[in-house]
Amino acid sequence: MALDPQAAALLASFAGMPAPDYSRLDATSYRAAIAAGGGAASAIGPGDAIAAEEDLTLPGAAGPLAARLYRPIKAEDASDQALPLLVFFHGGGFVACGIDTHANICRTLAARARTLVLSVDYRLAPEARFPAAAQDAIAAVRWAAAHAAELGARPGALAVAGDSAGGNLSAVCAQQLRGEVAIAHQLLLYPVLDCAHEHPSYETYGSGHLLDAGLMRWFKDQYFEPQADRASPLASPLGAEQLDQVAPATIISAECDPLRDEGEHYAARLAQAGVPVTLVRWPGQMHGFASMLGVLDAASAALDLGARALRAALHL
């Protein structure tokens, strides 16, 4: 299927930009290019209005991590009961991005799901290689569950969410913390779920769709030491042997995305394990589309779907 017209127009705005030489690309340069933005990126919206944002720190696996708590505007018909808590992990290939780059997604989920959102700045590669990000994510969810009341959240009402690499970390948390932390739901937006293998969508959509296969390989090379076990469940949740009792999931894949197949295979494996799962393949969209609020209509629609799933799971 062809790209959605809005997605095609966005990609056209990037036409003419030189393709990076991945053999020479370094993380500092890549992050600088992301920060520079420009073009269509400057039109991306800030997300829904919320009541407050608070920067804080929490303990990671090897030291303090920056985080930000988003609080929605109280609805007129809302009770005085404390709100649930969503722990969010940003994408960026384990190498780039952070709290600020994904603030619009967090604001929108907070407003539409009527939940507090705690966005966590885990350690990035190559300065902190695998399994640093996974360990930080697990530590953050464990801490959030234990300190929910301190954050003003309702204890026992917790979910995880993330996009791309953040979807990987959310899935890792749901697997690794089952039986220890009650996670009501996992919302995975076009997640990275298999760092050990490339699926057919790498070939079909590996170039010309924003995230290309070469960039994805470069991300993995930054994240992993040469001898690292990329098939470990801490890296590749899709390959985990046991998936029973993992938190129910909503998985949103993008049709024109190299990562499409692994997300959809994960949905199938969860279903086979008896885990309630909803899979939605967004037609004509590319990787990262949910961040493009104000540019792609599909971004708002996908986050609306995710927010509804969270509200249902958290009994709002």
The pLDDT value recorded for residue 298 is 98
Catalytic position from the list 4, 48, 257, 261: 257
219: its two tokens: 């991300």
- Parts of the chain with a pLDDT under 50: none
Residue closest to 306 by CA, chosen among 159, 166, 118: 159
61: its two tokens: 């696996």
Q: Which residue has the tokens 């937006």?
A: 189
Catalytic position from the list 119, 164, 170, 232: 164
Domain 5-313, CATH number (from 3.20.20.540, 3.40.50.1820, 3.30.70.2700, 3.40.50.720): 3.40.50.1820
Rg (CA), the chain: 18
The pLDDT value recorded for residue 18 is 72
The pLDDT value recorded for residue 316 is 65
The pLDDT value recorded for residue 93 is 98
Active site includes 287?
Answer: yes
The pLDDT value recorded for residue 115 is 97
Q: Which residues contact 268 (CB under 8 A, 6 or more apart)?
A: none
Active site includes 212?
Answer: no
The pLDDT value recorded for residue 39 is 55
Catalytic position from the list 185, 261, 287, 300: 287
> In whole angstroms, how far apart are CA 303 and each of 110, 200, 269?
10, 27, 24
17: its two tokens: 């930009």
Active site includes 102?
Answer: no
